[in-house]
């Protein structure tokens, strides 16, 4: 493959410039690899910068320390040292080849063969390298694929998936983020044939790819293929709601909001509470994340129409503005049948901007002072609060003290 030179200014910016300078020469060679090269090539802003090197981990750590950077041995058995430079983390991984794989883990041995390093990677567009001077090394034709939006397995897809089942999800994640047109038929067929192997992956790994898959502009198209091939149902363990997912994406677009993975997961896969608890297990969600999905499921039956503000105010009062933001979008995505109906929800989405839930004017002490005891305190407060909400949050302290006294004859 004929090497090309690229004018990547990010290569010359600190601290990467210095890092590349100290990790090249005196018998070792270090290049930027993977996502950063791919993204720069197609004109996208680059994320994390990963490096591949012929130097052994100890040597990388030694040179990094000498330059005043901080090496962290994040994955020494895989040959990875994370170098923290000016507060940024660079993963530096020694060239290696897999000796044996069991579908989840790889045993690796270090090497110094760039093409072999490339062949271990998943897709051609991820097997791109750039040297410190901007020379692009593209041993497998990844540049052309990246520019054409072709997500192509390196080598034989079925074999590559058998080595690491996560590659099925990565195929769709990269398709969502970088694909143009339909997925490569042979690669897709391999993903379908091996789809049940997804069940053998750890929840953490599935979580990471799955949440990232939900965000890119072409996520809906990728999810549609996953759904039509039964792969999506295997991951979420239930039915999907692609139309609701698409409506949420449209709502975000009209409101000019960034996509948010947990919210999108809710639109895609949460109808009832059981969906939320299943996803909590399957994707090892955090408590906060699963609380959000649960809130979407619980409030859904109450927010059926955007015309009625009263139930929305109650939901906002009971859940607070953050959960309300999830809930109201989930309701809109669930209920609106067309673009007009979706636009009809904008007002309720903006409710927290024009209305702040007041605090209920009484507390437990007030009710106890009126003679309530034990469980009666909570029950009385709850009944009064419900009446206050039903009455549109009106009436001050005096009013509700009087109502409490009526409820509590002993007072
Ligand atoms: P992003 O910018 O989205 O992080 P990325 O290409 O950096 O994209 P990572 O998941 O961070 O993706 O992986 C870094 C690189 O490591 C990839 O570009 C790919 O070459 C390789 N890689 C990661 N995971 C796998 C895998 N499961 N199988 C083979 N190669 C992989
Ligand atoms: Mg990355």
Answer with the one of 317, 333, 357 that is the final residue of a domain.
357
Closest C-alpha residue for ligand 1 atom 3: 35
Q: Please give the number of the atom of ligand 1 that sits closest to the Cα of 167.
A: 27
CA distance 297 to 286: 17
Q: What is the pLDDT of residue 411?
A: 45
Residue 132: which CATH number? Answer: 3.30.460.10
Ligand nearest to the CA of 37: 1
268 shares a domain with 387: no
* Most ligand 1 atoms within 8 A of CB, residue of 126, 154, 160 to mutate: 126
Q: Which domain holds residue 200?
A: 153-236
Average per-residue pLDDT for the chain: 94
135 shares a domain with 87: yes
| Peptide bond before residue 15 is cis, with ω within 30 degrees of 0 | yes
136 shares a domain with 4: yes
10 shares a domain with 78: yes
Instruction: Report the separation in Å between the CA atom of 291 and the middle of ligand 2, taken as the mean of its atom positions.
Output: 28
201 shares a domain with 101: no
Answer with the one of 202, 236, 270 that is the final residue of a domain.
236
Q: Please give the number of the atom of ligand 1 that sits closest to the Cα of 121.
A: 30
Answer with the one of 148, 171, 198 that is the final residue of a domain.
148
Closest C-alpha residue for ligand 1 atom 4: 35
Q: How many domains does the chain contain in total?
A: 4
134 shares a domain with 121: yes
Encode pLDDT of 369-381 as tens digits: 999 999 999 999 9
Q: What is the mean pLDDT of residues 288-296?
A: 97
Encode pLDDT of 141-188 as tens digits: 999 999 999 999 999 999 999 999 999 999 999 999 999 999 999 999
133 shares a domain with 227: no
Comparing 102-106, 139-143, 173-177, 346-350, the range with the smallest average pLDDT is 102-106
Both tokens of residue 323? Answer: 């959960």
320 shares a domain with 289: yes
Q: Which of 355, 366, 353, 271 is nearest to 314 (CA)?
A: 355
300 shares a domain with 247: yes
Structure-model confidence comparison of residues 108 and 362, the more confident one = 362
pLDDT interval class at 96 (50, 70, 90)? confident
pLDDT interval class at 106 (50, 70, 90)? low
DSSP β-bridge partners for residue 97? 109
Instruction: Report the separation in Å between the CA atom of 34 and the middle of ligand 2, taken as the mean of its atom positions.
Output: 7
339 shares a domain with 257: yes
Closest C-alpha residue for ligand 1 atom 27: 167
288 shares a domain with 230: no
143 shares a domain with 76: yes
Instruction: Report the separation in Å between the CA atom of 35 and the middle of ligand 1, taken as the mean of its atom positions.
Output: 7
Residue 157: which CATH number? Answer: 1.10.3090.10
Encode pLDDT of 215-227 as tens digits: 999 999 999 999 9
Ligand nearest to the CA of 51: 1
């Amino acid at each position: 493959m004929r090497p090309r030179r690229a004018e990547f200014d990010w290569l010359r910016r600190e601290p990467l410039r210095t890092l590349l300078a100290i990790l090249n020469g005196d018998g070792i060679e270090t290049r930027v690899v993977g996502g950063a090269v791919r993204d720069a090539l197609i004109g996208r802003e680059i994320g994390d910068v990963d490096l591949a090197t012929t130097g052994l981990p100890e040597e990388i750590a030694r040179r990094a320390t000498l330059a005043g950077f901080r090496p962290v041995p994040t994955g020494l058995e895989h040959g990875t040292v994370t170098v923290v430079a000016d507060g940024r983390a660079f993963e530096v991984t020694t060239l290696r080849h897999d000796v044996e794989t069991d579908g989840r883990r790889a045993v690796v041995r270090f090497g110094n063969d760039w093409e072999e390093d490339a062949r271990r990677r998943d897709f051609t567009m991820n097997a791109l390298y750039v040297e410190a001077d901007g020379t692009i090394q593209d041993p497998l034709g990844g540049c052309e694929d990246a520019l054409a939006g072709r997500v192509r397995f390196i080598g034989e897809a079925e074999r590559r998936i058998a080595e690491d089942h996560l590659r099925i999800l990565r195929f769709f994640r990269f398709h969502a983020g970088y694909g143009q047109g339909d997925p490569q038929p042979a690669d897709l067929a391999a993903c379908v044939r091996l789809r049940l192997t997804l069940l053998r992956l750890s929840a953490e790994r599935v979580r990471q790819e799955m949440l990232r898959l939900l965000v890119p502009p072409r996520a809906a198209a990728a999810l549609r293929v996953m759904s039509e091939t039964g792969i999506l149902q295997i991951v979420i363990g239930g039915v999907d709601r692609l139309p609701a997912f698409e409506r949420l994406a449209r709502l975000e677009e009209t409101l000019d909001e960034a996509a948010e993975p947990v919210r999108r997961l809710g639109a895609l896969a949460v109808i009832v509470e059981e969906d939320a608890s299943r996803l909590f297990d399957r994707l090892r969600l955090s408590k906060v994340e699963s609380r959000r999905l649960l809130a979407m499921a619980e409030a859904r039956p109450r927010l059926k129409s955007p015309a009625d503000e009263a139930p929305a105010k109650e939901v906002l009062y009971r859940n607070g503005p953050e959960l309300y933001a999830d809930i109201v979008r989930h309701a809109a995505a669930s209920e609106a049948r067309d673009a007009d109906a979706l636009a009809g929800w904008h007002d309720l989405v903006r409710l927290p901007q024009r209305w702040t839930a007041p605090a209920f004017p009484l507390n437990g002490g007030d009710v106890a002072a009126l003679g309530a005891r034990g469980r009666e305190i909570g029950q009385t407060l709850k009944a009064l609060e419900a009446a206050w909400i039903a009455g549109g949050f009106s009436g001050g302290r005096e009013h509700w003290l009087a109502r409490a006294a009526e409820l509590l004859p002993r007072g």
